């Protein structure tokens, strides 16, 4: 990707300069600007996170060191052979956030940057939240955040949820997307036939998440071959658990 590319999101317009590896986000509101820069200052120096270069509240923008192409662009161009290494970097980066009490809130390929050395950096912290000790101890969040195909079942069901477990579910969807090129569900709710089939397999028939998805979804021979490996299933099964208390924690606890 060469030159400058602009992408509009819900909170602003991001202009990415691929030559200088700098992304500038022009915010629609000063509140969103101050929120995201506060999160980025909290995460200063954290490996696997874009770093804040400067911001101007009056002009309404923040500049960040860019990591290169988004993971979404990588997937669209060619499914990555190094999916396991990329996934481990994503989990490590999200875990570093959680160790600092930060929930990302919108983990998805669009918000994961991959540079020319295949180093991963998380970006876009507009949905992020610094959790209190009480919020870390129990499922107590209620506000809806994130992107529909990557949002966890409890957020879509409108019940109290654990912010760290929500990020874990999203990381599981990202892993599946890296290998298959698509998301397993339009949304993880009972309005989605694919998800209800998944729920039936995992919860009612006690089949692993990976085996359930292999049995219920069409994949190419190469994709199914990857999904049938222990390396893939061991990673996916601990993240795509419909019940949030069963998901892997990434904060080291």
How do residues 121-137 score in pLDDT, each as one tens digit?
Answer: 999 999 999 999 989 88
Region 4-65: CATH code: 3.30.200.20
Measured distance CA(102)–CA(124) in Å, rounded: 13
Angle between helix 163-180 and 230-237 (nearest 10): 150
The pTM assigned to this predicted structure is 0.94
Residues 69-246, CATH architecture: Orthogonal Bundle (1.10)
Measured distance CA(214)–CA(225) in Å, rounded: 10
* Digit-coded pLDDT (tens) for 86-123: 999 999 999 999 999 999 999 999 999 999 899 999 99
Tell me if domain 4-65 and domain 69-246 are identical in fold: no
SS3 content of the chain, % helix, strand, coil (to 5): 45, 15, 40
Contact 41, 54 (CB under 8 A): no
Band (pLDDT 50/70/90 cuts) for residue 10 is confident
**Residue ranges per structural domain of the chain:** 4-65, 69-246
Measured distance CA(190)–CA(109) in Å, rounded: 24
């Amino acid at each position: 990707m060469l030159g400058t590319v602009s992408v509009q999101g819900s909170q602003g317009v991001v202009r990415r300069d691929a030559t200088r590896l700098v992304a500038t986000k022009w915010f629609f509101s000063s509140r969103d600007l101050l929120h995201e820069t506060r999160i980025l200052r909290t995460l200063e120096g954290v490996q696997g996170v874009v770093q804040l270069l400067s911001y101007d509240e009056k002009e309404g923008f923040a500049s960040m060191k860019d990591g290169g192409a988004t993971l979404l662009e990588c997937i669209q161009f060619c499914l990555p052979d190094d999916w396991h290494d990329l996934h481990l970097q994503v989990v490590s980066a999200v875990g570093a956030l959680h160790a600092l009490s930060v929930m990302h809130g919108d983990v998805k390929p669009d918000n994961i940057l991959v540079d020319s050395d295949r180093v991963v950096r998380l970006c876009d912290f507009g949905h992020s939240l610094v959790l209190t000790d009480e919020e870390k101890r129990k499922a107590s969040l209620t506000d809806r955040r994130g992107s529909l195909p990557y949002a966890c079942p409890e957020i879509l069901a409108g019940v109290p949820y654990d912010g760290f477990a929500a990020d874990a579910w999203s990381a599981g969807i990202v892993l599946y997307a890296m290998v298959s090129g698509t998301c397993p569900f339009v949304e993880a709710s009972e309005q989605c036939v694919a998800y209800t089939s998944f729920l039936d397999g995992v919860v009612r028939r006690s089949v692993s998440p990976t085996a359930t998805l292999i049995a219920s979804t069409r994949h190419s021979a190469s994709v199914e071959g990857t999904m049938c490996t222990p390396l893939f299933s061991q990673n996916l099964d601990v993240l795509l658990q419909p019940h949030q208390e069963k998901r892997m924690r990434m904060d080291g606890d």
